[in-house]
Structure 1
Amino acid sequence: MINERDLAEKFSAIWKENLPLLTPSYIRFFNEINTMKVNEAIYEGDNEIRYDMVSQLAFNCANLIHDKKLSFEEVFKEEKLSIYILKTAKEIWNNKFDESHLKLSKDEYFDTKKVCKNILDFIKTINGKESLFKPQFKGYGLIPDLEGDLYIDDTLIEIKTVKRNFRSSDLKQLFIYLALQQMTGDIKWKNAGLYNPRKGLYHKFNVRNIIYDISGGKSTTEVFKNILDSFTRDVNFDSRF
């Protein structure tokens, strides 16, 4: 089944047709302008860390602490954490793992705590009236129902726990969620943002303005509808072969 990462990283012709000004130069500008420092960056040592496990586990723990009102200390107790590690392993490795994969090294354990704490501190810093992890998006055509990372008030936020700068594919992933939201007729998020808890960086933008800029003056309604229709047409075509 196709997912949002495939949609964001592939189908370059569709993205170029609808967002012709989303270029490497624009992304360099995006990373340099209005990117705010909201946390201290996490120091990375020389030891090997499974960053996929750490990133997703930290996200899941932050979700539990925030939405379920659990305490930070309780979630990171060994007996509790083992449950969340198993859940995370199933998510990222599709059940293709053994018992050895479920043991965190000391560095992985502390790295997970740092990333989780940065995510929670970020939410406190934004200090919104309403915030929730894992907003749901109803599918469209052959695009399945999808799940985002976080929203705070009128801002949809994608969390990227990476060592790199933000990429165009990160923005595209947000645009897919926003396009699906638009098709429901309920425009809930006027703004969107990318947040990196590893670097402590956050970039928030107005959705209408950024689409106007990178589409060459078109509206979000037109661009998002065209992107979703193009995906549905091309995915349907590809699925026949």
Structure 2
Amino acid sequence: MITKTGRDPRTIARNIPGVLNAIFPGLTPGIVAFYNKSASDCAVVAVPLEAVQSSELQKSFLFELAFAVGEQLILDNNPTWGESVAIATKRQSKFFDAISPSQISDNDQRIALRVAKNLVAMVKQVAAGENSVYGVSPKIPGFRWIASGSGDFFAGSTLIEVKCIAGNFSAADYRQVAIYWLLSYAAAVETGDSEWKSCALMNPRTGKLVSIDFDEFIQLTGGGRSKSEILQAFSAIVTNIQSF
């Protein structure tokens, strides 16, 4: 057996799906479709596909830029485009080589700002529904060789994850929030702190929002196991995996 430390939970969920598939065997295409059909439309202005196609930026960077602007607006900051570009470049560089553009066209500024404003409105909507405070970068605890990380936003006990995609949320998106819940539950068992109770998958590009109650999610995807049994199975898998 091999040991490996410091792996990001997002990377595990997206690049090593077998780990989560073994823990949540019920996370099937049918369940993904079930949750996607439950998506609500938020009262925001969706960004048309043709506007996105007209962008002079790489699409991943365009939406990383929008996320950076939205995050700063939620923090009540008033960032310049140069500052937002630097934030977006730094964030993308965690996962792959990112090239910072020399300039942002007026059209790309309009698109990024629209998505950013949608993001802020949707986060505030979730917080209002929970009657709770909201914020950025909630901590995701580590576990054994899995490194700690951070989510996108939170509202009370609801984790908020943002995906600026053209279509529906994918199985990888659901695996990602599943491992975030699982890591929070593992930490809660150890420390007595609270776990994430629910999650909102949010697409500020289209205005779609999927609300997930984690107790229901576990019943649907956990293969009939209790939360403690799921944690035991996860612990056993993590113990036996040493590298990938």
Match of 2:165 among 162, 166, 187: 162
User: Is 2:108 the partner of 1:108?
Assistant: yes
**1:175 CA drift (Å):** 1.5
1:38-72 C-alpha deviation (Å, 9 max, x unpaired): 133211324144222222222222222212x23xx
SS of 2:200 mapped into structure 1? strand
Moved more, 193-202 or 20-29: 20-29
CA distance in 2, matches of 1:13, 1:98: 32
**1:35 CA drift (Å):** 0.9
Q: Which residue of 2 aligns with 1:233?
A: 240
Moved more, 13-22 or 86-95: 86-95
Q: 1:229 to 1:60 in 2, by over 3 A?
A: farther
CA distance in 2, matches of 1:29, 1:216: 17
Match of 1:6 among 7, 11, 17: 11
Moved more, 21-30 or 7-16: 7-16
**8 A Cα contact 1:179 1:225, kept in partner:** no
SS of 1:156 mapped into structure 2? strand
Q: 1:213 to 1:86 in 2, by over 3 A?
A: same
Q: 1:191 to 1:227 in 2, by over 3 A?
A: same
**8 A Cα contact 2:163 2:203, kept in partner:** yes
**1:136 CA drift (Å):** 1.0
Residue type matched to 1:60 in 2? A
Q: 1:210 to 1:66 in 2, by over 3 A?
A: same
CA distance in 1, matches of 2:239, 2:108: 40
**8 A Cα contact 2:8 2:148, kept in partner:** no
**8 A Cα contact 1:179 1:224, kept in partner:** yes
TM-score (norm 1): 0.84
Match of 2:213 among 203, 206, 209: 206
Q: Percent identity?
A: 22
User: Is 2:204 the partner of 1:197?
Assistant: yes
TM-score (norm 2): 0.83
Cα root mean square deviation, aligned: 2.2
1:191-217 C-alpha deviation (Å, 9 max, x unpaired): 112111111011112101111111222
Listed as ranges, the gaps of 5+ residues in structure 1 are none
CA distance in 1, matches of 2:123, 2:214: 20
> Alignment length, in residue pairs?
227
Q: Which residue of 2 aligns with 1:58?
A: 66
Q: Which residue of 1 aligns with 2:54?
A: 47
1:183-240 C-alpha deviation (Å, 9 max, x unpaired): 2222242111211111101111210111111122222232244235423532x143xx
User: Is 2:40 the partner of 1:26?
Assistant: no
Q: Which residue of 1 aligns with 2:3?
A: none
1:82-132 C-alpha deviation (Å, 9 max, x unpaired): 022123212213695666x24112222111101100011112323142111
**8 A Cα contact 1:82 1:102, kept in partner:** no
